[in-house]
Structure 1
């Protein structure tokens, strides 16, 4: 499966991506905001992740930025199963923060999640990661008021995570996230 958004190309990981993946995610500022990534993030961790098979209704993608010299890897986005819901996780390499790539990748994945039949998607940013919470709200998620304690291998102690959710069963013909749905991807003119 592949997804094309306005600026990004989301594709499966390939085993030969491991070195580029490792160079981007071997960054404590990134990994401390991920509950499932090991720390330190070693070359063998990158090899394993790059070779992971797709999981049907819970795919994961390498987020790439197409350019004249090919597509550069800038992060990852994916879905996992979470107590009957789908859970979205993502990360963007630090040098690409603040450019809207995480929001764009999240919106693209939500569009696919709807197509795959998911009715609700959750995400769990750490409470001290305000930037990630903003990404989720821009993508159509809303805070649920629920808090969970999560452990990241790059953090010393369990940390509060603020549960966000988006209802994909809502009609698609909304003007944007303020209508209770998510903002659909733009159609080509």
Structure 2
């Protein structure tokens, strides 16, 4: 695709991930921080970034994190389903990141696309976009039910904290993958919403609350 776009002189907006980082940072990652993916998924995304950069100068790489939305399979919808099925949920509390609403990301892509079509002064390269604020999967789960329980009853009675070691997965995940979004705000004027605000809107859509 990048080769085709290069021949046709067409820009690309490419979606990437926080999983290109290893999670060893103590502060939100900036675009120039060295990448060091832990697993196959992160490595494949990092390779995609590198190949795009080598082929096409007119590119925007958008790294995002902890993506959720009304459609598809994602953490928020999974928690709501489990909340109807189980009284006790156990959720990892030692991984930190920035939940991102898919609709917000889509709007950012549309905004950047519009600016690309109207300006010859685009600063191409890699940018970070995610919800504003850092949390854990456990805190995110608590917030999900704080919001959702306003609209319907759930079976779940408690959400217990567990460690990553207590919840092994095939794919290694970074301990800390928060992203710094200052650059996209500076160059494109993109508004970054607090993750709690977007989460509430999404849950209302999922539960079909007017």
Report the TM-score, using the length of structure 2 for normalisation. 0.24
- The structure that is strand-richer by fraction is 1
Return the index of the structure with the highest Cα Rg: 2
Task: With a CA cutoff of 8 Å and minimum separation of 6, indicate the structure with the bigger relative contact order.
Answer: 2
Report the TM-score, using the length of structure 1 for normalisation. 0.26
